[in-house]
Amino acid sequence: MVKVNAPRTPTRPKQASREETGDHGSDLSAKEGEVVEERANLRALAVYEVIRREGVEELRRPVASLWWSGIAAGLTIGFSIVGEGLLHTHLPDAGWREVVESLGYSIGFLIVILGRYQLFTETTITAVLPVLSEPSWRGVGALLRMWVVVLVANLVGTALFGAALASGLFLPAEIGEGIFAISRHLAELTPQDAFLRGILGGWLVATVVWLLPSAEQARFGVILILTSLISALELSHVISGSVEMFTLLFAGEVGAGQAAAILLPLLAGNIVGGSALVALLAYGQVREEMTEPDGDQPSLKDDTAPESLRGPA
């Protein structure tokens, strides 16, 4: 008996379901659905996790790596003062000059943040989040170790840059005058003013860190706008501010005591603004959504961490 096959009915290619495309209200392609799903998933918890993982990796870095990266950041942030001084020199003496010259203040931050150098005020949020999510003496020790190494390295870099500016050998005299004019403005602050303005300055830098994971192609703009606000609002930042104070110190315009009376409250304000406010608020808004990190996620409890991070939990 000969079996006759029935003619085949042409089949349509299978279309992705709405669940697969992430589309519940319009006809999207699978690729478009993936894009929508990816963007929709980048909620506060996802941003938190990106920064937390970055913080874990930073806490694990060897001291030598932190040190040289911190030196590079301290040297590079000096270009914020140079950029601001350059615009101060060449812009007319008008009411809007201070707002426009603040854009020059962003130059050093753009290089440091996009270049992935270790800047102390950045670590006030990235290094704090892993410790908040996994509290332990080991984590606190790692955090303090990182803070001390990065802060000292940053200040060594800013001292070298300040000495170079004070020498007058590297830049035209008129630009040097603009730099000194801006630096003298910081030296006029009282310790109380330095502390209070440092809180908002630290808040803005930590906000930059919080926004970068979701900024994508807008990273340049986020850094430019928020860091220029530090200057435009006459707020303060301890690392860039130390460039200004070291410049005046090496030029003989201020003493070591006066410089310390400004930089120490400024440091405390940046820590409060970056850690106590932004980091705690960031942690608080996702705390109830968090789960214990699984084995595929970097964790301070990982036994492969450097010896300096090990110890009783």
Give the model confidence (pLDDT) of 250-275 as tens digits.
999 999 999 999 999 999 999 998 87
**Overall average pLDDT of the 179-199 stretch:** 95
| pLDDT confidence band for 20 (50 / 70 / 90) | very low
| pLDDT confidence band for 29 (50 / 70 / 90) | low
Under 8 Å between Cβ of 237 and 205: yes
pLDDT above 80: residue 22? no
DSSP the chain: -PPPPPPPPPPPPPPPPHHHHT-SSS---HHHHHHHHHHHH-SHHHHHHHHHHHHHHHHHS-HHHHHHHHHHHHHHTHHHHHHHHHHHHHS-SSTTHHHHHHHHHHHHHHHHHHTT---HHHHHHHTHHHHHHS--HHHHHHHHHHHHHHHHHHHHHHHHHHHHHHHTSSS-HHHHHHHHHHHHHHHT--HHHHHHHHHHHHHHHHHHHHHHHHHGGGHHHHHHHHHHHHHHTT---HHHHHHHHHHHHHTTSS-HHHHHHHHHHHHHHHHIIIIIIIIHHHHHHHGGG-----TTS--TT-TTS-GGG-S--
pLDDT above 90: residue 49? no
Burial class (CB in 10 A: 0-12, 13-18, 19+), 234: middle
Question: What is the reported pLDDT for 28?
Answer: 57
pLDDT above 70: residue 130? yes
pLDDT above 50: residue 114? yes
**Overall average pLDDT of the 164-178 stretch:** 95
State percent of the chain over pLDDT 70.
Answer: 78
**Overall average pLDDT of the 173-192 stretch:** 95
Q: Say what the pTM is.
A: 0.80
Question: What is the reported pLDDT for 2?
Answer: 42
**Overall average pLDDT of the 63-87 stretch:** 97
Question: What is the reported pLDDT for 21?
Answer: 41
Question: What is the reported pLDDT for 287?
Answer: 74
Which CATH code of 1.20.810.10, 1.20.1080.10, 2.60.120.260, 3.30.70.20 fits the domain covering 44-288? 1.20.1080.10
Burial 59-69 (b: 16+ CB within 10 A, else e): bbbeeeebbeb
Question: What is the reported pLDDT for 216?
Answer: 77
| pLDDT confidence band for 4 (50 / 70 / 90) | very low
Burial class (CB in 10 A: 0-12, 13-18, 19+), 248: buried
pLDDT above 50: residue 1? no
| pLDDT confidence band for 306 (50 / 70 / 90) | very low
* Dihedral sign for Cα atoms in the order 125, 307, 117, 176: positive
| Mean pLDDT, rounded, of the chain | 83
Which residues fall within 8 angstroms of residue 108, CB to CB, at 6 or more apart?
76, 77, 78, 79, 80, 81, 82, 83, 240
